[in-house]
Amino acid sequence: MSQRPRILITCDTFPEIIDFAREHFEVVDNQGQAQSTPAQLRERLQGMDGVLVAGTDRIDAALLDASPTVRAVSIAAVGYNSIDIAACNERGILASNTPGILDDTTADLGFALILAASRRIGEGERYLRAGRWKRWENDLLLGQDVHHRTLGIVGMGRIGQALARRARGFDMPVVYHNRSRVDAAIEQALDARWLAIDELFATADIVCLCLPYSQAVHHLVGAALLARMKPTAVFVNLARGGIVDEDALIHALRHHAIAAAGLDVYEGEPAINPGLLDLDNAVLVPHIGSATRETRVAMGLCAARNLKVGLEGGVPPNLINPQAMAHPAYRRG
């Protein structure tokens, strides 16, 4: 009987994922421990065939060179900019992610941020908790209506489409920008209209980012696009922090060039640009787009199944880099 593959699970996770993994692998887990430093991660990867990582673990060429037995990397997330895919390709290492599972959960949070930023919910809660609410006032914490406002979605993939479906319940016209237009049938089903990105920023009452990160979109949203927004507009980022020039966004919020923002992601997370922290018109949450137990368990199980298939010599259902299988360094299980 051949020896079972050895895997490292780098993140504290749920019992269901550990139990599934132990059915198929020799497992080293991270239960109850702090996240490994890069040096600790390098040490723990020695002799491992695969690794299930969190989005905060950086898998780069130097780490892979120091871990020559690793054949598969699986991330329990949709975004995979923390994994050097080119380095995986050059070493015949399979990389996979967990798309589709968190779409509705993340879109729910997107609407929570839209509502919280538009209706000044965070500001209102701080006002009440500070003991400042003494009487009803006609103009206390006046916000923006969400119903019937135009929603602009940048990135009409699965999450963007889920957000657009929710917009229909609020009678919101939807405009979107995508690198390429979605099928006409999808546009019709969502009652969504494509616009060039600068026109979208000028037209929408609420702009929400749902696109994947790449160097091509680094600081895509900066002073120029923010200047096109209405002074009553709300900006929401569900995507990745690096897509936004945070200094430009802080300037726009501080000077009321736009009304408010709701952010789930940040360029240097978990470090936060200090300029964001003292803005009453910014709703800030700590990258919790997929943070329900049901969704996080499903993501972890999906990531573990990707590893199982890949380490058995098959094609993982959510393989990011099929070209790695054609590389001479690729080793089947």
Q: Based on the fold, state whether residues 144 and 226 are members of the same structural domain.
A: yes
Q: Are strands 234-237 and 26-28 parallel, antiparallel or unpaired?
A: unpaired
Q: Say which residues have a Cβ less than 8 Å from residue 229's Cβ, sequence separation at least 6.
A: 201, 202, 204, 207, 235, 252, 257, 258
Q: Based on the fold, state whether residues 132 and 247 are members of the same structural domain.
A: yes
Catalytic residue flag (residue 287)? yes
Catalytic residue flag (residue 269)? yes
Q: Based on the fold, state whether residues 35 and 125 are members of the same structural domain.
A: no
Q: Which of 177, 240, 296, 305 is catalytic?
A: 240
Q: What's the CATH number where 299 sits?
A: 3.40.50.720
Range(s) of the domain holding residue 157:
103-284
Average pLDDT of the chain to the nearest whole number? 95
Q: Which of 16, 26, 90, 269 is catalytic?
A: 269
Q: How many CB atoms lie within 10 A of CB 325?
A: 15
Q: Which of 166, 228, 287, 327 is catalytic?
A: 287
Q: Based on the fold, state whether residues 109 and 167 are members of the same structural domain.
A: yes
Q: Based on the fold, state whether residues 136 and 201 are members of the same structural domain.
A: yes
Alpha-carbon distance of 303 to 329, in angstroms, equals: 23
pLDDT at 35: 77
pLDDT beyond 50 at 1: no
Q: Based on the fold, state whether residues 117 and 41 are members of the same structural domain.
A: no
Q: What is the pLDDT of residues 117-134, one digit of tens each?
A: 999 999 999 999 999 999
Q: Does 208 map to a domain?
A: yes
pLDDT beyond 80 at 2: no
Distance of alpha carbon 307 from the chain centroid: 21
Q: What is the pLDDT of residues 285-320, one digit of tens each?
A: 999 999 999 999 999 999 999 999 999 999 999 999
Q: Say which residues have a Cβ less than 8 Å from residue 103's Cβ, sequence separation at least 6.
A: 158, 159, 161, 162
Q: How many CB atoms lie within 10 A of CB 231?
A: 10
